[in-house]
Structure 1
């Protein structure tokens, strides 16, 4: 019986095999094998040169069998042929975003050392099969350190990740003298600039040492909130030439209603003939509580040979009247680095009565027990105090915020009301990865390097998930390489920008008088006099409250900076046409006062103004 069963089994098995072979057809059967993961790098270009220690690598990864989210990506760095590659994956931020069958990846590391680097990336799939490593070589210059001390600018100062070839100093000279009409090329490297600016206790000026450790009582100015009312300002201005006497030209051109005494505290010699001039500004009276101050450097402040300072604009907000505190701990001490008397926003374990400002145990109007007496929603709750009555006033304007028009966006989309403010996070911004990752970032002119992670707070929505995809202009290699807003700050600008313009250069954080939260004053100088009429195209003021981006509107916006006067990051916005004659100053005949061509017609492949505004395509004559 066993023998018969074996015979029958063999006949069945061979019958199945023979039947399969006879019925096979290439039209109905596909033979497949597991694929090998592939990776490509889009940016930066090979042999790029960076004058900032922050470098962003972008590209795509693909695998036939493994979903992008299941791929393992590792990043290695090798600084010389004699060294072994060292894994740096966890030293930076790696982001992988599925895009159909492939995925886009971004790797950002903010502290690459000075010198040559060969970064290699390897992808491994679920079966342990790895791609061949793909490499990208670049160089970080000495000026990539925290303080810029160089005094010369040359071919290496071109935007490394734009794909442009290097230019000589002579060609840079020609461009500056003809295009801007403002500063001669021999001023490059000689312009004074603001290197550091702090809010400090009234008697703490002498503690400052240029390029030294910063006292824990010092607060950064840019977007600082809850500043003590009795603080003053300290400025570190760098220059290769002696500076003009502050009695002749003051440091500030606008500071609200604040007046005070300016004093040269000390000077310090740095490398390459560069000197640090440390000034203090002591207000005649204490700052007002819950008030936002806009601080503009005087654009006429200059060296003794009349080379003007590079303009800068910063703002900070003071504490509410009942809050009289300072940061008690050094930066980074998370155990004690909070404001002890931050009564409204914690620490709640000590000040539980603060909860009742927003929540009502028995009369709450929703699942969060929000106190309905202050409004119907969360934003009403915040504005009950942030109208200036109990807390700093959020800008009041006709286009307060596009965010308020959305039912899916609220104040807590960006801010965590239950997180006490710290020196590192004064605005209580959320953390990434459900509260366990690094802070979302919203950097501005003084701190931005121009990489996408600098603006991760904006891109948490503006990546196509909840709002228009603006992130692509900062991560897509094509947009970045062709963008005229991809800028490398000049050596003497005091900025480490080497990438796309920060969002805040055009947009107000919480809203503006214009649509799309666009600023009225573009640039870093305080505009004087009355706002011009809307039909004037060649002034810095910008005004647009409604309507489409027609030809006239596009030109008004772009010419607010591209006027031969507005200075950003040491670069002067290219003048399009002569203000007196209206004749084009470029090789393109349409660049004249009466042009009927929209900016997006030439500066965007898609003819879209949103592309033009965020990544304007360069036009090569």
Structure 2
């Protein structure tokens, strides 16, 4: 008998054949008339040959196409995650085609990839290696019966770049003599529109922990944000500016990189005198504010308001004095009153007390080691950092054995030591180069040696040989210099140095050579100010108490967190103080935790499961990542120019 078939929507049954049935009955009747040796059991066999009726079977044919939808992104959206999300039937297969083309017949040409929805019908696709800009995704679903859905098509814009605050902020970083009615301004670099509803939270200004009230406006054309204080600022005060990521959010919901800097207001309300120490060129009596021709007690003719410093025995062994008389005189005005601002952290537990003259000899002033109070204030040198001049002497004819023929700097030898009567005329010569010892930070540092020369002019090999406790840090920065930068930009164009990629050789020289991602010009060594507070800190080594720009970590290190190490130098035993093993690890891991970022670069996460880390769980980081013959040298190396791990 043929099987019975059933098609969805209609029933078909096989009709009964009456004639065939009668014929069978007749045959059976004929069999009964024939004699046969068959026993009674034959009746049972005959029953087995009788065919039983078959039950009806059913076949379902599904011609309904499956559903599919793209939930994220929507058409025209900005996308910052590089993930496409949607829904479909849970048993279907979703096919996607990125940036495919469609011919005139509507046929999609390109490579399709498959993703499987979960039990709830949700699916997502992580787009590999997609570029910034406009893209189109095609999506279709295929169910188990081979039915194909209609094709969904969405065009969107990939934007994973965070808005950047351009370095040209106002007031400038560390700017002094800022007007009391000034407004704070920043410009934003971003391709997409900003969420103007959040911009009111973008600029936060504070003074001594108290927020300044003001209004915030945004120029959509110039992308400039302006914060205007509701009241005039206080005179002679330091103000801190914080650009919050919560207030600068673009259309793709990327938040801006944070930015921090500070400025100091003018010291007198009239703002008539722009030079904090007066104008020497217009009024020579200004000198009398600090010096006395007849009543002074020391060689610098400082007035009797100060006492002479008590000399330290054997000054060649130290560049410090017990009482820095000139510093006391400076602080008598720089006390935070209307006259002059108090230096930040100058009252901290650990302060910068090295007293060194411009030529490297000990002096009675720590302030004077970095600042030149006789300079006229300028926009390029607002804090009156120490300056110097250099001149390359040409060989004389006839040769004068007493005349130098190499480049000389006033930081090494004062011009007046040879040119007593004509020094002014000599200094004005066109071949004499004038420069300021820079102390560059996030808005200005490119990462070359000269950016940090105010610090490195003392922390170098030469000073180390003069003063046994002076650390040589300069050797960890000398691979990138102004000369190298100039040569690079001659070949590659202006400002190309900051835009270059960090080379393998540079990375091998120092793991702290990075390329900023937050819009800063840094493409080199990290600034000193990222780890050290300038004037002082409650931490030893003047280490900062907050490390990192994003997900900043608190760090504390007291006197008990250090250890003394004895080192033999020039056949003499010298004792140095360095961080203990556990505290050094805590300092490094404050950034190397996989979440804390600096200049938009996230610190590499410390992998505790790494074989070497498991083998030396209590060792300092410098044990493997520092270089040198002693613990002190390794500690300095790992802090300023860490190397790839090397087990000693």
Which TM-score band (shorter chain)?
A: 0.5 to 0.7
Counterpart in 1 of 2:164? 193
Q: CA deviation at 1:500?
A: 0.9
After TM superposition, the score normalised by the length of structure 2 is: 0.53
Paired residues of 2:387 and 2:435 also in contact (CA < 8 A): yes
Q: Does 1:473 align with 2:480?
A: no
Counterpart in 1 of 2:283? 351
Q: Does 1:305 align with 2:252?
A: yes
Counterpart in 2 of 1:165? none
Compared with structure 1, are the counterparts of its residues 556 and 261 closer, same or farther at alpha carbon in structure 2 (3 Å cutoff)?
same
Which of the numbers 398, 406, 413 marks the counterpart of 2:348?
A: 398
Q: CA deviation at 1:281?
A: 0.3
Secondary structure at the counterpart of residue 495 of structure 1: coil
CA–CA distance in structure 1, aligned partners of residues 547 and 614 of structure 2: 21
Counterpart in 2 of 1:386? 334
Counterpart in 2 of 1:267? 221
CA–CA distance in structure 2, aligned partners of residues 471 and 241 of structure 1: 42
Q: Does 1:316 align with 2:263?
A: yes
Counterpart in 2 of 1:142? none
Secondary structure at the counterpart of residue 271 of structure 2: coil
Q: Does 1:284 align with 2:233?
A: no
Compared with structure 1, are the counterparts of its residues 311 and 187 closer, same or farther at alpha carbon in structure 2 (3 Å cutoff)?
farther
Q: CA deviation at 1:296?
A: 1.4
Paired residues of 1:226 and 1:319 also in contact (CA < 8 A): yes
Residues 366-417 of structure 1: per-residue CA shift (max 9 Å, x gap): 1221013145411111111112132111123333523357754622222111
Q: Does 1:562 align with 2:575?
A: no
After TM superposition, the score normalised by the length of structure 1 is: 0.56
Paired residues of 1:555 and 1:599 also in contact (CA < 8 A): yes
Instruction: Say what the alpha-carbon RMSD is for the aligned residues.
Output: 3.2
Paired residues of 2:172 and 2:263 also in contact (CA < 8 A): yes
- Matches for 1:471-510 after TM superposition, within 5 Å: 471-476=474-479, 481-490=508-517, 493-510=518-535
Counterpart in 2 of 1:443? 440
Q: CA deviation at 1:351?
A: 2.5
- Matches for 1:95-494 after TM superposition, within 5 Å: 190-199=161-170, 220-247=171-198, 250-253=201-204, 255-256=206-207, 257=210, 258-268=212-222, 277-301=223-247, 302-322=249-269, 324-325=271-272, 340-342=273-275, 344-376=276-308, 377-389=325-337, 390-395=339-344, 396-404=346-354, 408=363, 410-433=366-389, 434=410, 437-466=434-463, 467-476=470-479, 481-490=508-517, 493-494=518-519
After superposing the two structures, state which structure 1 stretch, 415-424 or 475-484, moved more.
475-484
Secondary structure at the counterpart of residue 422 of structure 1: coil
- Consecutive unaligned residues of structure 1, counting only runs of 5 or more, are 1-150, 152-168, 174-185, 200-219, 269-276, 326-339, 528-539, 578-583
Q: CA deviation at 1:589?
A: 5.8
CA–CA distance in structure 1, aligned partners of residues 599 and 274 of structure 2: 38
Rg (Cα) greater in structure: 2
Secondary structure at the counterpart of residue 597 of structure 1: coil
CA–CA distance in structure 1, aligned partners of residues 475 and 129 of structure 2: 35
Q: CA deviation at 1:187?
A: 8.8
- Consecutive unaligned residues of structure 2, counting only runs of 5 or more, are 1-79, 81-127, 133-156, 309-324, 357-361, 390-409, 411-426, 428-432, 464-469, 481-504, 564-578
Counterpart in 2 of 1:544? 557
CA–CA distance in structure 1, aligned partners of residues 525 and 262 of structure 2: 22
CA–CA distance in structure 1, aligned partners of residues 519 and 243 of structure 2: 13
Secondary structure at the counterpart of residue 432 of structure 1: strand
Q: Does 1:524 align with 2:554?
A: no
Which of the numbers 577, 582, 590 marks the counterpart of 2:613?
A: 590
CA–CA distance in structure 2, aligned partners of residues 228 and 502 of structure 1: 28
Compared with structure 1, are the counterparts of its residues 354 and 315 closer, same or farther at alpha carbon in structure 2 (3 Å cutoff)?
same
Aligned residue pairs: how many?
A: 377
Paired residues of 2:166 and 2:187 also in contact (CA < 8 A): yes
